[in-house]
Structure 1
Amino acid sequence: MAPRAIWKGVLKVSEVTCPVALYTAASTAERISFHTLNRKTGHRVHRQFVDEVTGKPVEKEDQVKGYDRGAGDYIVLEPDEIADAIPESDKTLDVATFLPCDEIDDVFFDRPYYVAPSTPVASEAFKLIRDSMAAQKSAALARTVIFRRMRSILIRPHGEGLIATTLNFDYEVRSAEEAFSDIPKIKIEGEMLELAEHIIKTKAGEFDPKNFDDRYEAALAELVKAKIEGRKIRPPKRQEPSKVVNLLDALRQSAKTNDKPAAKSKAASKAKGQPQRKAG
């Protein structure tokens, strides 16, 4: 079954247009979810909006948005006023500029979406745009309305299609200088730096998302299964963090630990290349 598109429109590059569809690339739908229950009855409970002064429930038709000017002085915004203020979508991904794929700091990345042609007729124009961008190692910066918000979107070649990533606005990204301002300026050199670099080299590898399991989700799934089967589940043993007295000693120990698997691997590969003896 083909996935459901969350947006359909036109990708426009100068005078070249191509009907496209956006599909969700990352979702939390597969995570285990819970309902809140009444412990005494076992029935589900539902949230209810209550007036903070009178304590009485407020029906949905009496609920409106309000902007706090301070000291509890609110400006009331009616639903139709908010709707009129939201920009209308013309369903066009209008490319404003092209730039190198690594030009934008990934701290601005928000949510990814797969982009594919929405009709068979659009495949030729889609392939032209995708292949041209891949050849130039370029990304496209476009804007459109998604979920009633005007968004800036970075579009990049991705396999047989494109991937569109919505971007955070400048005011949403906090300054790194504020977060790093209290880090003291310390110069690391000599054996400490050499050992740290050695550890990084011995632990070098490639990213494979299959190697990273969601332990929290797995633990919840096991807990639910145990409850259904009437089993008691034992909590995992907590590993106490080792006490590090000296940073240099810790680096030396880490270097020794990381060298052992490499030595075993070399020995195993050497043995693998030798012919096996037949049983007598």
Structure 2
Amino acid sequence: MEKFIELPLDLAQKCVKCGLCKSVCPTYPYVQEEAGFARGRLALAEMVVKGELPLSEEVARQWDQCAMCRRCEWICPNNVEYKEIMVKARDMQRESLGQGVVKSLGLKSLELMQSGFGRKAIKLAGKLLSPLPSEIKTPFPTGAVKFMPKPTARAFGLRGKVFEAQEEKGKLLFFTGCMIDAFYGKTGENVIKLMNRAGYTVVVPEDIKCCGAPHYYSGNLQAFERLRDHNLKEMGKYDFDAVVVACPTCGGALQEDY
């Protein structure tokens, strides 16, 4: 991957202001303002880079409201690379205004979850929360956090192992990421069983970290590059024909950002 550089004006200026992105933006119906969808956010980025507008907390608020779903990018008739522009805009924002305590702690927690201490803490949390009804997903039912499941008392514990298929058609590396470890251990086990039944030997690396997508989309490019480089080095220790994932975010990061 190329070294990240200043926000490229040529990419932002490809926007022809047609407004198709407004029709698919999930945040626009709630904010109902020009800066509340891709066209306006790109315009803000262009004005900041040109020096026509200071990078203020209000500009940062508009950028932060973007969910990075990329529906605007897929519908754009001029193929504006919205993700690349917005990631670099957020990097510029982080350098100028900082990242904020909550966001910084959230990103750090994704890395901590895969440490030895983190895995033990998640397992303990799973045991403590297990008596709660399933509709109470987390002890913090606010914002996006309420959609996350409870930590599992039976964390995914199959790292550093090879699961042989009886009649091997090929060998797959299972990129577990962080969510499989903490919340979807049973799903991870089922992936291995399914691939084995299909005739594929599954390799589970010992030390895969978070894919880094949350850091990347937040504009924390240094942290993303560190995680990416670590994971590529870890994956390079194993022989495999293809990579399998159970997390679409990890899959997207591996395909587009590694």
TM more than 0.5: no
Larger fraction in helix:
2
Question: How high is the TM-score relative to the length of structure 1?
Answer: 0.19
Larger fraction in strand:
1
Question: How high is the TM-score relative to the length of structure 2?
Answer: 0.20
